[in-house]
Structure 1
Amino acid sequence: MSTPNKTDKITQGLRLVSYCPVCEIRSKSMHARTLAAQGETKLMHIQCHKCQNAFLTFVLVSQVGASSVGVLTDLGYEDVVRFRSNQNVSVNDVINIHEQLAQGLFQVPFERNKKTSVKAPIKRTTKKRGK
């Protein structure tokens, strides 16, 4: 059993990211950009030119073959780059928000609208008069 060479592995990886599961088109014109790479794994932002949906996808190309896992997103490439550079949410951040919610600091007063009844329009029929 022969192992695929580097060019074959890259081709397999590109084949995985050239299919849009939303509009079910296989296209070489998918716009794929690498966000991060570590070893044989890449995090990619892929956008379909036909339906304009975007995906965040992990692509692994190894000696065994290529595989990918992706998620549909409404984030553009620039959004993902910006969010990746932000700090992580810590446990203390979650506790602080929980305490503020418990104290009612985020409550917004809502006026309760009186229920108004709406009557259905009366359907009037006209009868044809005979000759």
Structure 2
Amino acid sequence: MTRPPHTPPPQDEPAPGHAPLTDRHRSATSFDPDASLTNAEARAEAGLPRPWVEDTTGTPVAGEAIHPAARIFVRGPWEMVATGVITLGVFMLMQPFSIALYSWSFLTTLVGTGMFIVVSHFPERRNDG
């Protein structure tokens, strides 16, 4: 059976110049995280407690106190402030009235951009009803 030169060989057929894979090689090349453990390591791992996974949605548990900073540092209002600082820096760059404003325009725009990057990682506002 001849194949065009651009098609790879099927999975069961070895590549040209390579020996065919045995069952031992197939099990070694397939992903199994426990395949490299010795019997003693496997017994020791079986005795370890499994990690407890908490709720990762960020919803507070009933009776849990919400930190005051969680109410202050929410994304929406701070993104508006950062956008305002960027807008102010661009305005300072384009105005023809003051060289002092022009001198500080790049730094103002840079601070606003950095602020926006940081603020975009804040959590969303919660709708607590």
Higher relative contact order (CA 8 A, sep 6+): 2
Do both share a fold (TM > 0.5)? no
Which of the five TM-score ranges fits, normalised by the shorter chain? Answer: under 0.3
Taking structure 1 as the reference length, what is the TM-score of the superposition? Answer: 0.17
Taking structure 2 as the reference length, what is the TM-score of the superposition? Answer: 0.17
Structure with the higher fraction of residues in strand conformation: 1
Max Rg structure: 2
